Amino acid sequence: MNFREIVSGEARGVTAAAARAGLTVLESIYAPVVALRNCWYDFVPGAARRVDIPVVSVGNVTMGGTGKTPLTAAVVQRAVSRGVKTAIISRGYHAKPGELNDEGKELTTRIPDCVYIQNPKRAQAAAELCAEESSRPQLIVLDDGFQHRRLARQLDIVLIDALNPFGYNRICPRGFLRESLSALRRAHCVVITRADRVEESELKRIEEKILSYNRRLVLARACHRPGNLRRLSGQTAPLITLAGKRVMAFCGLGNPDGFRHTVESLDCNVVEFKAYPDHHLYSSSDEKEITALAEQVQADAVVCTMKDFVKLSPAMSQTPIPVYGIEIDMAFLSGESEFWALVDSVIAPASV
């Protein structure tokens, strides 16, 4: 019985019911605190710190993976391709002292030309970047920044996962919502991710609920699509490398089923799938377990997400079964032109 099973109501019995009752009490304390904090930033002039360069936030309203990293990468790559010097600022959740966290490692691997800053005090980090004349960026992108109200922004992009769009309609810890859905009133754009995984009728229901909070925002639909395979040596390989192969897959994500679906779409035979906790840090014993499992099921290849891949030790490059990280990109199914027009409205002034 895990946390998701408890809050979703899937877990039954006295123990699960008692756990939900306790979480409801905690929710009744946490939710008003979040609401009061939002009121402070909504109505107190100067509560949010402003910097004199454009700021774009990519975030969500629920806990767990919604695809922030690939969309953040896409926004930054678009800015960099237009000659805009861009910096990403992240809280650095689950980072070891002096090291980048998994999202930071992935983003710096994918976009080496971008400055990446980890600092829980993101408004302070932005001010410090603006004060550095020699390295001053022209654009700041906040990774997972929707709830970080301390730094004002020109554009708020919110991602909502179609598979669990509203976090069981309860605020954490009773559900997966980070704050009330009324927070969508301050969003400029909502991208519904994994939109290829649900029926059209469900997508319309999700969209109507979003619009009930904010009819002015731009709505887009997107899905996760695998890109290249990457080896620890830095070499890349096409996805067709896995076609017809026996594959063991593993990940440490908030939504492991999404990654499993991605791997299964690659015309390979997934003979083993291992899910670790979200943001898992892989130890040598974990790596030995992965290697042993792969050998046990006679896998031809081992695959994981890039977030997991960047946390593996160099020793994994020496395993007899090749290990690949799958680069995941965001592909729009609808609303793409409106989405990029909104992003460009912030990027274009920055390039002047």
Given a contact cutoff of 8 angstroms between Cβ atoms, the answer to whether 8 and 168 are in contact is yes
Task: Answer whether residue 78 is part of any domain.
Answer: yes
Task: Answer whether residue 10 is part of any domain.
Answer: yes
CB proximity list for 340: less than 8 A, separation 6 or greater:
78
- One domain, residues 65 and 147: yes
Task: Answer whether residue 265 is part of any domain.
Answer: yes
CB proximity list for 332: less than 8 A, separation 6 or greater:
220, 221, 222, 339
Rounded CA gap, 7 and 239, in Å?
A: 37
Which has the closest alpha carbon to 193: 70, 56, 106?
70
Task: Answer whether residue 50 is part of any domain.
Answer: no
pLDDT at 98 over 80: no
The confidence band for 235, taking pLDDT boundaries of 50, 70 and 90, is confident
CA distances from 158 to 191, 224, 254, 280 (A): 6, 16, 17, 24
Write out pLDDT tens, residues 194-214. Answer: 999 999 999 999 999 999 999
Write out pLDDT tens, residues 4-43. Answer: 888 888 888 889 889 999 999 999 999 999 999 999 999 9
pLDDT at 352 over 70: no
Per-residue confidence (pLDDT) for residue 95, from 0 to 100: 72
Among 81-95, 135-149, 232-246, the range of highest mean pLDDT? 135-149
- One domain, residues 201 and 147: yes
CATH of the domain at 146: 3.40.50.300
Per-residue confidence (pLDDT) for residue 248, from 0 to 100: 96
pTM of the model: 0.87
CATH of the domain at 277: 3.40.50
- One domain, residues 339 and 308: no
Rounded CA gap, 338 and 221, in Å?
A: 11
Which has the closest alpha carbon to 107: 83, 132, 139, 142?
142
pLDDT at 254 over 80: no
Task: Answer whether residue 254 is part of any domain.
Answer: yes
- One domain, residues 70 and 189: yes
CB proximity list for 210: less than 8 A, separation 6 or greater:
160, 184, 190, 192, 217, 219
pLDDT at 122 over 70: yes
Task: Answer whether residue 289 is part of any domain.
Answer: yes
- One domain, residues 174 and 195: yes
Expressed as residue numbers, the domain containing 304 is 226-328
Percent of the chain clearing pLDDT 90 (strictly above): 69
The number of domains in the chain is 3
- One domain, residues 66 and 173: yes
Write out pLDDT tens, residues 176-188. Answer: 999 999 999 999 9
Output the DSSP codes for 237-286.
E-GGGGTT-EEEEEE--S-HHHHHHHHHTTSSEEEEEEEPPTTPPPPHHH
Task: Answer whether residue 48 is part of any domain.
Answer: no
Per-residue confidence (pLDDT) for residue 257, from 0 to 100: 83
Preceding peptide of 165 cis, ω within 30° = no
pLDDT at 256 over 90: no
The confidence band for 135, taking pLDDT boundaries of 50, 70 and 90, is confident
CB proximity list for 236: less than 8 A, separation 6 or greater:
228, 229, 230
- One domain, residues 284 and 219: no
Task: Answer whether residue 49 is part of any domain.
Answer: no
- One domain, residues 299 and 188: no
- One domain, residues 31 and 179: no
Tell me which of 122 and 348 has the higher pLDDT.
122
Mean pLDDT of the chain: 92
Per-residue confidence (pLDDT) for residue 308, from 0 to 100: 92
Cβ-count burial of 249 within 10 angstroms (0-12 exposed, 13-18 middle, 19+ buried)? buried
Write out pLDDT tens, residues 266-296. Answer: 999 999 999 998 888 899 999 999 999 999 9
The mean pLDDT value for 132-154 works out to: 93
Given a contact cutoff of 8 angstroms between Cβ atoms, the answer to whether 61 and 132 are in contact is no
pLDDT at 97 over 80: no
- One domain, residues 281 and 341: no
Would the CA dihedral through 76, 77, 80, 81 be positive or negative?
negative
The confidence band for 148, taking pLDDT boundaries of 50, 70 and 90, is very high
Per-residue confidence (pLDDT) for residue 62, from 0 to 100: 94
pLDDT at 87 over 80: yes
Given a contact cutoff of 8 angstroms between Cβ atoms, the answer to whether 275 and 251 are in contact is yes
- One domain, residues 77 and 107: yes
Given a contact cutoff of 8 angstroms between Cβ atoms, the answer to whether 89 and 142 are in contact is yes
Helix axes 102-110, 68-81, angle to 10 degrees: 30
- One domain, residues 142 and 81: yes
